[in-house]
């Protein structure tokens, strides 16, 4: 048999020519495979998957604000289109009816689609990954502590935390709003979860002695932030890398929580907090395991932190850029402060009076999708909803882009809280989702946000240090430099 040698010029040439041809054929086949996907004869929505498998259009999408990517695609393909992002073929849509149906079919036809790193950081027993049956039982269990009735007794704790955080700004000429907002939200979350402000945990000092931070809550916050930064990182367990550090911090928090849970189960310590309600029997009499309890504590920390602090920072920015809104909020909040005896904490009745502040929160949530670019659903079966084919294992992304549709919100690019004087059309304003997985923390978030602006506006005025600060859009939208502002203390009646 004659051996082939690449040293032969003809063979070398044809080999070199062969590589691009093979590559071309591969890419053609790859693209054709996606475009030919059908469910019951219906083709997937039009779109493009770009050239390379796995990467798809990810880099292009991440290089733009979500709205711009969406506008580009919508112009070309319509309001429902196919793409390939984050390693998965994906359908994105701003169609209200389609979104509503996907929400209604969640836990029936669809499960949540989240990155695998999120799963390993939050834990596989997280509410996010629970299947229909257990999900329903746990949602029923947490319904009580998240109800307005129960949260009402937590308002003083939110108020005290807010006063501490805002008082700490007195000696600072400048703060970074996003950083402060995160600190505030996380302190509330830990108090809500395990009553750390009034309950003593002596063993934590030893367990957390090598963790940076002056107090137990600061140490827990430090560990949590390290954990969180691994959620969207590449999943390499290599010392020094974000994901590795995140898993180590998670382990440390778990050790602490194990001890806290053991004390509660033994009846030695009893508090009126979220952890205590997770230890109650579910409707069928069964109890959550320690792992389930711990994973759901991580879930609440993660779900409350990014969302609420993102809303807070954009609200601060929006209010400053809209003097009429600022003036009206100031009048509203000053009036509430004037009506209260000195030192009295906020009540539910006070929060209910914050109408313009609530509209401003809604308008901020309308304009910025604080949960990130989109969150997805996926199915292990082919699904067809009206004329949209969703093949199995594809992701259907819920983008909430209809918040920016002029048919539902005229002049959608304009920040106009007063539009919320009228209730939006059904299913067109859904910052907290819909259906069986609607955000359970929405009232807690609302109370935190209203309290924050009550103390900010009645105690300070502020000027942004960088009026033209850019925006980082991914994974969660925030001002590029965490929004540094200069604060000036103000007294009631001051402009
Ligand atoms: C402005 C603040 C917030 C916004 C905009 C927000 C929004 C959302 C959205 C859109 C979802 C997904 C719903 C779905 O998949 O259908 C969600 C889920 C969730 N949120 Fe929130 N959230 C906020 C604050 C909070 C807070 C403060 C907590 C808890 C302390 C919380 C806990 C959760 C949990 C546990 C889930 C998962 C629910 C499930 O899968 O059953 N969120 N949130």
Average pLDDT over residues 91-96: 95
> Could you tell which of 148, 187, 439 is best to mutate to test the pocket of ligand 1, judged by most ligand atoms within 8 Å of the CB?
439
Provide φ and ψ at 97, rounded to 5°: -65, -45
| pLDDT for position 4 | 39
Average pLDDT over residues 43-48: 88
- How far is it, in rounded angstroms, from Cα 103 to Cα 433? 8
| Residue nearest (by alpha carbon) to ligand 1 atom 1 | 308
pLDDT exceeds cutoff 70 at 422 = yes
pLDDT exceeds cutoff 70 at 35 = no
pLDDT exceeds cutoff 60 at 225 = yes
- How far is it, in rounded angstroms, from Cα 75 to Cα 199? 56
- Centroid of ligand 1 to alpha carbon of 128 (angstroms): 10
pLDDT exceeds cutoff 90 at 252 = yes
Q: Are 389 and 44 in contact (CB under 8 A)?
A: yes
| pLDDT for position 86 | 80
| pLDDT for position 421 | 98
Average pLDDT over residues 377-404: 94
- Centroid of ligand 1 to alpha carbon of 429 (angstroms): 15
* CA neighbor of 364 nearest in space, from 328, 409, 323, 313: 313
- Centroid of ligand 1 to alpha carbon of 433 (angstroms): 8
Q: Are 218 and 259 in contact (CB under 8 A)?
A: no
pLDDT exceeds cutoff 70 at 250 = yes
Low-confidence winner among 34-38, 101-105, 123-127 (lowest mean pLDDT): 34-38
pLDDT exceeds cutoff 80 at 234 = no
Q: What is the mean pLDDT of the chain?
A: 90
Which atom of ligand 1 is least distant from the CA of 444?
Answer: 27
pLDDT band at 57 (very low <50, low <70, confident <90, very high): confident
List, in sequence order, every residue forming a beta bridge with 93; answer none if it has no partner: 80, 398
- Centroid of ligand 1 to alpha carbon of 432 (angstroms): 6
Q: List residues near ligand 1 (CB under 6 A).
A: 127-128, 139, 299-300, 303-304, 307-308, 311, 365, 370-371, 375, 431-433, 437-441, 444-445
Task: Name the more confident of 93 and 57.
Answer: 93
- How far is it, in rounded angstroms, from Cα 162 to Cα 139? 28
HSE-up of residue 231 (Cα within 13 Å, Cβ side): 21
Q: Which three-class secondary structure string do you get for the chain?
A: CCCCCCCCHHHHHHHHHHHHHHHHHHHHHHHHHHHCCEECCEECCCECCCCCCCCCCHHHHHCCCHHHHHHHHHHHHCCEEEEEECCEEEEEECCHHHHHHHHHCECCCEEEECCHHHHHHHCCCCHHHCCHHHHHHHHHHHHCCCCHHHHHCCHHHHHHHHHHHHHCCCCCCEEEHHHHHHHHHHHHHHHHHHCCCCCCCHHHHHHCCCCCCCCHHHHHHHHHHHHHHCCCCCCCCCCCCHHHHHHHHHHHHHHHHHHHHHHHHHCCCCCCCHHHHHCCCCCCCCCCCHHHHHHHHHHHHHHHHHHHHHHHHHHHHHHHHCHHHHHHHHHHHHHHHHCCCCCCCCCHHHHHCCHHHHHHHHHHHHHCCCCCCCEEEECCCCEEECCEEECCCCEEEECCHHHHCCCCCCCCCCCCHHHHHCCCCCCCCCCCCCHHHCCCCHHHHHHHHHHHHHHHHHHEEEEECCCCCCEECCCCCEECCCCEEEEEECCCCCC
Long-range (24+ apart) CB contacts under 8 A made by 256-259 are 256/201, 256/204, 256/207, 256/208, 256/220, 257/293, 257/294, 257/297, 258/290, 258/294, 259/203, 259/207
pLDDT exceeds cutoff 70 at 374 = yes
| pLDDT for position 351 | 98
b/e string for 276-305 if b means 16 or more Cβ within 10 A? Answer: bebeeeeeeeeebebebbbbbbbbbbbbbb
pLDDT band at 134 (very low <50, low <70, confident <90, very high): very high
pLDDT exceeds cutoff 60 at 7 = no
- Centroid of ligand 1 to alpha carbon of 34 (angstroms): 32
| pLDDT for position 28 | 65
pLDDT exceeds cutoff 60 at 8 = no
| Residue nearest (by alpha carbon) to ligand 1 atom 17 | 439
pLDDT exceeds cutoff 50 at 240 = yes
Which atom of ligand 1 is least distant from the CA of 431?
Answer: 5
- Centroid of ligand 1 to alpha carbon of 18 (angstroms): 52
pLDDT exceeds cutoff 80 at 383 = yes
Each residue's pLDDT tens digit, 174-218:
999 999 999 999 999 999 999 988 888 999 999 999 999 999 998
pLDDT exceeds cutoff 60 at 371 = yes
> Could you tell which of 118, 303, 308, 398 is best to mutate to test the pocket of ligand 1, judged by most ligand atoms within 8 Å of the CB?
303
* CA neighbor of 183 nearest in space, from 76, 13, 343, 308: 308
Each residue's pLDDT tens digit, 454-473:
999 999 999 999 999 999 99
Average pLDDT over residues 348-370: 98
pLDDT band at 43 (very low <50, low <70, confident <90, very high): confident
Binding residues for heme: 439
| pLDDT for position 16 | 63
Each residue's pLDDT tens digit, 73-91:
999 999 999 998 888 899 9
Low-confidence winner among 6-15, 166-175, 249-258, 410-419 (lowest mean pLDDT): 6-15
Average pLDDT over residues 384-405: 94
Which atom of ligand 1 is least distant from the CA of 106?
Answer: 16
pLDDT exceeds cutoff 50 at 3 = no
pLDDT exceeds cutoff 50 at 1 = no
pLDDT band at 431 (very low <50, low <70, confident <90, very high): very high
Task: Say how many C-beta atoms besides its own lie within 10 A of residue 241's C-beta.
Answer: 14
pLDDT band at 385 (very low <50, low <70, confident <90, very high): very high
- Centroid of ligand 1 to alpha carbon of 202 (angstroms): 32
């Amino acid at each position: 048999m004659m051996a082939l040698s690449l040293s032969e010029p003809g063979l070398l040439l044809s080999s070199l020519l062969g590589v691009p041809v093979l590559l071309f054929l591969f890419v053609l086949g790859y693209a054709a495979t996606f475009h030919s996907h059908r469910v019951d004869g219906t083709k997937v929505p039009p779109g493009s998957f770009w050239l390379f498998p796995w990467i798809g259009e990810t880099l292009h999408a991440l290089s733009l604000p979500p709205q711009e990517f969406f506008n580009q695609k919508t112009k070309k393909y319509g309001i429902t289109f196919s793409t390939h992002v984050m390693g998965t073929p994906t359908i994105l849509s701003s169609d209200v009816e389609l979104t509503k149906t996907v929400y209604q079919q969640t836990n029936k036809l669809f499960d949540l689609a989240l990155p695998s790193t999120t799963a390993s950081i939050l834990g596989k027993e997280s509410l996010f990954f629970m299947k229909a049956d257990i999900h329903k039982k746990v949602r029923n269990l947490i319904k009580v502590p998240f109800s307005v009735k129960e949260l009402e007794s937590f308002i003083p704790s939110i108020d005290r935390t807010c006063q501490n955080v805002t008082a700490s700004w007195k000696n600072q000429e400048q703060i970074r709003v996003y950083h402060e907002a995160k600190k505030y939200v996380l302190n509330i979350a830990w108090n809500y979860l395990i009553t750390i402000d009034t309950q003593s945990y002596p063993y934590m000092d030893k367990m957390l002695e090598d963790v940076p931070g002056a107090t137990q809550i600061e140490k827990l916050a430090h560990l949590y932030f390290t954990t969180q930064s691994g959620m969207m990182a590449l999943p390499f367990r290599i010392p020094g890398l974000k994901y590795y550090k995140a898993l180590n911090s998670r382990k440390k928090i778990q050790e602490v929580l194990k001890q806290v849970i053991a004390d509660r189960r033994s009846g030695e310590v009893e508090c009126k907090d979220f952890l205590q309600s997770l230890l109650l029997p579910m409707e069928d009499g069964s109890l959550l395991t320690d792992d389930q309890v711990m994973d759901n504590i991580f879930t609440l920390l993660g779900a409350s932190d990014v969302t609420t602090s993102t809303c807070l920072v954009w609200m601060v920015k929006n209010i400053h850029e809209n003097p009429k809104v600022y003036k009206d909020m100031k009048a509203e909040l000053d009036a509430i402060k004037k009506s209260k005896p000195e030192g009295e904490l906020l009540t539910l009745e006070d929060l209910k009076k914050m109408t313009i502040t609530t509209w401003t929160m809604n308008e901020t949530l309308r304009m910025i999708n604080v949960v990130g670019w989109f969150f997805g659903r996926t199915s292990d079966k082919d699904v067809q909803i009206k004329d949209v084919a969703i093949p199995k294992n594809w992701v259907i992304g819920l983008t909430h882009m209809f918040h920016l549709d002029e048919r539902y919100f005229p002049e959608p690019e304009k920040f106009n809280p007063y539009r919320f004087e009228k209730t939006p059309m059904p299913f067109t304003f859904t910052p907290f989702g819909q259906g069986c997985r609607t955000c359970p923390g929405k009232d807690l978030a609302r109370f935190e946000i209203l309290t924050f602006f009550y103390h900010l506006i009645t105690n300070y005025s502020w000027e942004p240090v960088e009026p033209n600060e850019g925006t980082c859009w991914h994974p969660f939208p925030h001002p590029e430099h965490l929004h540094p502002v200069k604060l000036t203390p103000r007294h009631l009646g001051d402009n």
